[in-house]
Amino acid sequence: MMKKTETASNEAEPAAAPKLAAPESAGTKPAEPEIAGTKPAEPEIAGTKPAEPETAGTKPAAPETAGTKTAEPETVGIEPTGLDARLPQWLGVAVIALSIVIVDQITKRVALANLDPGERIPLLGDLFGLQLVFNPGAAFSMGAGATRVITVFALVVCVVVIPWLLSRPVGRLTRIAFALIWGGAIGNVIDRLFFPPGKLAGHVVDFLAYADWFVGNIADIAIVGGVVLLLIQAFRAENTETSNKLATADTPGTGELETSSKLDNASVPTTDKTEEATAAHVSETSTERRETEGCR
């Protein structure tokens, strides 16, 4: 009996050990694939990285903003239109012209009150001085026998020509030049209308003597200054036109620019296709991993 009991106990012990140890060890090992099964979820997080091309894909939109900048030269240099837009320009021109007329007439009255006709007062030796002279003609006493013709011509210039020129789209320097000429012309026309002998034949008061060359006044200085500004503006415009022609000859044509813009625009759809392909690849990879896990 004792031997049978020992034998039975010995047989029971080995049988109990596998039943307890095997399920525990085998039960814990399948848990490892569950932990490892969470790792394939990392590619899903890594799969979000291909979304970066979406932010990178927005970069090709920069040519659109850059393309809008090229529209600026179309508005640059174009003068405003309409009465409200031109009113400040006209006010500026009127202020300049009126200032010249006032200064011209005041200095002429001072010269008439303090200088004797023909008397010369040197200020810079023989180079510059004061000398009262009555000029029936135009500049340099030209046209002395056609005073009325000169007066009518000056009136037309003051009333019609210069206002018409100022009504056109012109640059700031040109407006200043016309304002100077306008003010000087009006100053001398006032002399021809109201100074003796009158009847559109009045003589212009000159009192600024330049050596032995000629005698002028403030109005003459304004007119000469306006003409000089017009010449400067014409010279600058000619140089600008020449520079533009040279730049056009040295730079690629508009066709190449259009081609480059088309290529830039075409890069956006290409980026979208790349993003779609990347997303599809990530989806397929995730599906394959899930199927592999299912097989396990």
Residue 5 CA, chain-centre distance (Å), reads 109
Catalytic residue among 206, 212, 250, 272: 206
Query: Residue 284, exposed/middle/buried by CB under 10 A (0-12, 13-18, 19+)?
Result: exposed
Which position has the token pair 């210069």? 162
Active site residue 116: no
| Residues 214, 139: Cα–Cα separation, whole Å | 9
| Residue 220 annotated in active site | yes
CA dist 139 and 181 (Å) reads 14
Please state the three-class secondary structure of 99-121 as a single string. HHHHHHHHHHHHHHHHCCECCEE
Q: Where are the alpha helices (DSSP H) in 195-253?
A: 218-250
Any idea how long the chain is?
296
Would you tell me how many other CB atoms lie within 10 Å of the CB of residue 164?
9
Options 116, 191, 220, 250, the catalytic residue? 220
Query: Which residues are catalytic, by number?
Result: 206, 220
